[in-house]
Amino acid sequence: MAAAPGRRLPAALLCAALCLGAALAVDRSNFKTCEQSGFCRRQRGLSPGHSPYRALLESLQLGPDAARIQLINEATKVPLLLELWGLQGNMTRIRIKELNPLRPRFEVPDVLVGEPPVERLAVTGRDEGSLELSLGPAGHRLLVTEKPFRMDLLQGRELLCSVNACGLLFFEHLRQRRDSFSDKLSSSVGSLWDKIKTLFHRDTPREPTAEEGAAAEGQDEAAGGTEEAGDQSEKPTETTAEAAEEPGSWEETFKTHTDTKPNGPTSVGLDFSLPGFEHVYGIPEHAESLRLRTTEGGDPYRLYNLDVFQYELYNPMALYGSVPLLLAHSARRTLGIFWLNAAETWVDISSNTAGKGGGETPQTDVRWMSESGIIDVFLLLGPAPAAVMGQYAALTGTQALPPLFALGYHQSRWNYNDEEDVAAVEKGFEEHAVPCDVLWLDIEHADGKRYFTWDPSKFPRPRAMLEQLAAKKRKMVSIVDPHIKVDSGYRVHAELRSRGFYVKTKDGSDYEGWCWPGSAAYPDFTNPEMRAWWASMFAYDQYEGSTETLFTWNDMNEPSVFSGPEVTMHKDAVHYGGWEHRDVHNLYGLYVQMATAEGQIQRSGGQHRPFVLSRAFFAGSQRYGAVWTGDNTAEWEHLKISIPMCLSFGLAGLAFCGADVGGFFKNPDAELLVRWYQAGALQPFFRAHAHMDTARREPWLFGEDNAALIRGAVRLRYALLPFWYTAFYHSHRHGVPIMRPLWMEYPEDTTTFAIDDQYLIDRALLVHPVTEQGARGVQVYLPGKGEVWYDTVSYQKHHAPQTLYVPVTMSSVPMFQRGGTVVPRQERVRRSTECMQGDPFTLYVALSPQGTAEGDLFLDDGKSFDYETKARFLHRQFTFAGNTLTASSADPRGSFDTPVWLERVVILGAGKPGAVILQPANGSETRLDFQHEAEPPVLTVRKPGVRMGDDWAIVLR
């Protein structure tokens, strides 16, 4: 929930919230542009092609795990240390930091799942100005050029990526502040003189950068004095010797907030050139198309977790989460760049083919700029899309396997008023036969917005309420935000303060700001002791009224501070270990979700899988739960943008993604609401949510016709739950997205590269939700030369590749099953996932042109870690070939006793057999009933009756 008008707030806080967007739209003036962000402005002021850095090749140290080479800035004489690793699995790591820093610089912890295993490096070539390193058995070579410093990564004779080819390596070294009066006077006069000169030198359109200004300081430190540099103003490089440090280097003001910057300018930046690529993706979160646009002539894409009120679409503004992973794709290969830095980051993208015709070889240049920390980057070399996904997962982990209920439908609102309201809504789902697994409570459920409590008048019997829901096989989620009401009588606050667990101000007092409770303090989630304490608060005897069916929503965890700069925490606030907030900002939300998930695991004695939804995120957040696209709006464009946003999330490892169905702000009409349910039912996380100022919009409130349409969409979701759950298992094991762009499965088909209004669920279902008002049809692209696709309603077969016009009605959800796949369903849809766990299965077998198909099914208890710790699971493989459908074990390590059985087999594209024979593992044969439709050809085999965990064959004769 973004700060918004309409929340019941203290008067002062209400004024602050109103200032954030009384016009029901983002107030851009509350958020910085690159020009207003000092380090971004300084780095963008650097012109390409004149790098001052030289690699001291004679300093090479080649160890068993890494190569180390010193770099020197020839203007400042400040040495840097370049470290290089070849990593197993086709990855390369590059790290650049100060050789002798004045004080330590922040290096991101807790994101990598471990130290990546390395390959042995070797020097394979050397001459006067360059050095060649072999990076391992995959044939990758790294060519290091001495002056100007540059690196080229090759495989065989193919150039994959160049580093610092544009000369934009930028590293603001730590330094002492020059505070003497003469320094300040000299600086001011020099700056004024430079500005005067620019009036008469049209070819000098920029002010000196901070690194240029640091040159004089660096020479003072190296030589013990200064000397006249002469007129260097016309050289647009970092080599100006006496330029003044830019205003804002040591103190920066935005609106009414001043950032004291006690460590001075500390930003880092580096460019990467990608020859042969013109399509790049990733770096969520942005309300943007799937394919990233070039940023020339506008702002770079910004990665800085922020509470943005009613965000705008198709711009590079920062939103709630950040994953610094960019993917480049061509018909030849896929590459990834993972920039491991948690500070405010901007990403510039340029292309030599953007908006141009002709036959020029495409190249995309990507420039990363971060405010602090070090340069630590991983090059993921693929070459296939799934390989890049696996490489990123090897570094940061895979999507946590959620409990099965979390894949069902979630009903939320700010706020369900009281226990009676909750009971009435639950009853409505029962009466209108709409499946639902979870009801949600927003901030009004707590006692004065004191989290871990319940309002005593509205929710006096929370345990009884939860037990009543559990009796209907339903769950609840309550919100627990990381801003804690400052109230000496509030146990949570008192204990956090007494333990010293709050974030501190630069002066050492507890940091406080305004948020929903009024004056609030912020737990320091970077402190592992604080995270352990937070986790302990989810124990049943600590979180009063909680039960094992209560799960958690972490909102506002960017962190949101209504009274802070850009609606977040001051950058000079101090965290555990003495690190500034500027260093750790984008990690905060990840740590909140991490601690909350750990609390849910601990409360069950380590037995049960958690469910935690988080608005803020970073690389690695996928290990802890779900995310969503934040506070969207009930508009068609917001429905449409939910698809590329979730596709981008998935490419960055965040597979469990969804959008608020119906839109958080404003009131959808019936058509928009129905279309949103149809789209949301086919996204990984399926939740309806709305602002308190909107009209109630439970599924049955728009008339029976629309209720029936919504019911159909939700029931389709539940029928496909076995397929969804198996797709989540694939993601959990291999790091692949669940909701994925077409080019992931068809990497050589250039038509797919910019498509973001349709997508694949796993590899078997192609979906094109209807996102246009009044639509009578949609254009669906069916990829795959020589492949076929089957309409999942009519069973009509379509040959690919082709663009197919599909007429739609209000009940239409265009969806196609890929020929050659098997999709499991459970078609006896009930009120919740738990009610369906013992129900029988139907297998939909879609034949390829060669008459083959394959698919799988994952089964376990749906809630515990036993699949992992005790191998209590079934992973079944289904294969159709030679007119025979066989079931076998896809993973013989697992075993799980379940009575679920096979009720029906539907074979799309099959001819009429003379007989259908069941052959169980004991060698007996049984004739089965079947029905065949000639046009389109569909064979339905009834009641094979075999258990899903058994081996068997069904033969068509």
What the block records as the tokens of 396 is 């940061």
Flag the least confident range among 24-28, 232-236, 348-352, 805-809.
232-236
pLDDT above 70 (res 825): yes
pLDDT above 80 (res 706): yes
| Residue 212 parent element (H or E) | helix 210-223
Confidence of residue 1 (pLDDT cuts 50, 70, 90): confident
Query: Can you name the residues that pair with 864 across neighbouring β-strands?
Result: 608
Q: Are 765 and 780 in contact (CB under 8 A)?
A: no
State pLDDT tens for residues 872-882.
999 999 999 99
Q: CA 570, CA 914: separation in Å to the nearest integer? A: 75
Q: CA 346, CA 194: separation in Å to the nearest integer? A: 28
pTM of the model: 0.93
How would you classify the pairing of strands 257-259 and 252-254? antiparallel
| Residue 431 parent element (H or E) | helix 419-431
pLDDT of residue 360: 80
725 exposed, middle or buried (CB, 10 Å; 0-12, 13-18, 19+)? Answer: buried
29 exposed, middle or buried (CB, 10 Å; 0-12, 13-18, 19+)? Answer: exposed
Entry field: residues in the chain: 957
Q: Are 213 and 206 in contact (CB under 8 A)?
A: no
Q: CA 442, CA 721: separation in Å to the nearest integer? A: 27
| Residue 303 parent element (H or E) | strand 301-303
Task: Kindly state the DSSP code that residue 510 receives in the 8-state scheme.
Answer: B
pLDDT of residue 3: 54
Q: Which ranges of 549-682 would DSSP assign to H, the alpha helix? A: 581-584, 588-603, 636-651, 670-680
Q: CA 874, CA 112: separation in Å to the nearest integer? A: 30
3-class DSSP state for residue 637? helix
Flag the least confident range among 46-60, 195-209, 309-323.
195-209
**Mean pLDDT over all residues of the chain?**
92
pLDDT of residue 355: 58
State pLDDT tens for residues 488-515.
999 999 999 999 999 999 999 999 999 9
Give me the percent of the chain exceeding a pLDDT of 90.
88
Flag the least confident range among 228-237, 573-582, 772-781.
228-237
What the block records as the tokens of 398 is 């895979």
What the block records as the tokens of 629 is 């696209």
Q: At what angle do helices 704-719 and 721-734 cross, to 10 degrees?
A: 50
Catalytic sites, residue numbers: 555, 631
pLDDT of residue 219: 34
Cβ contacts of residue 189 below 8 Å, gap of 6+? Answer: none
**Distance linking the first and last C-alpha atoms of the chain:** 60
Q: CA 718, CA 408: separation in Å to the nearest integer? A: 7
pLDDT of residue 233: 29
pLDDT of residue 236: 32
In terms of pLDDT, which residue wins out, 77 or 138? 77
Instruction: Find the mean pLDDT for residues 419-444.
Output: 98
CA atoms within 13 A on the CB side of 663: 25
The 484-485 sheet, strands edge to edge:
484-485, 518-521, 512-515
Cβ contacts of residue 225 below 8 Å, gap of 6+? Answer: none
Task: Kindly state the DSSP code that residue 22 receives in the 8-state scheme.
Answer: T
Q: CA 824, CA 837: separation in Å to the nearest integer? A: 14
State pLDDT tens for residues 248-276.
899 999 999 999 999 999 999 999 999 99
Task: Kindly state the DSSP code that residue 300 receives in the 8-state scheme.
Answer: P
Task: Kindly state the DSSP code that residue 472 receives in the 8-state scheme.
Answer: T
How would you classify the pairing of strands 612-614 and 626-628? parallel
Q: CA 715, CA 225: separation in Å to the nearest integer? A: 77
Q: Are 948 and 920 in contact (CB under 8 A)?
A: no
State pLDDT tens for residues 339-388.
999 999 999 999 998 656 566 899 999 999 999 999 999 999 999 999 99
Query: Can you name the residues that pair with 360 across neighbouring β-strands?
Result: none
Give me the percent of the chain exceeding a pLDDT of 70.
90
Q: What sign does the dihedral 863-866-872-874 (CA atoms) show?
A: positive
Flag the least confident range among 192-196, 379-383, 606-610.
192-196
Flag the least confident range among 240-244, 433-437, 788-792, 878-882.
240-244
pLDDT above 90 (res 25): no
3-class DSSP state for residue 77? coil
Query: 117 preceded by cis ω (within 30°)?
Result: no
Query: Can you name the residues that pair with 82 across neighbouring β-strands?
Result: 69, 96
Name which of 839, 851, 865, 777 is nearest 814 in CA terms.
777
Cβ contacts of residue 912 below 8 Å, gap of 6+? Answer: 932, 934, 937, 939
CA atoms within 13 A on the CB side of 351: 20
Q: CA 351, CA 281: separation in Å to the nearest integer? A: 14
> DSSP for 304-317?
-----TT--SSS--
| Residue 879 parent element (H or E) | strand 874-881
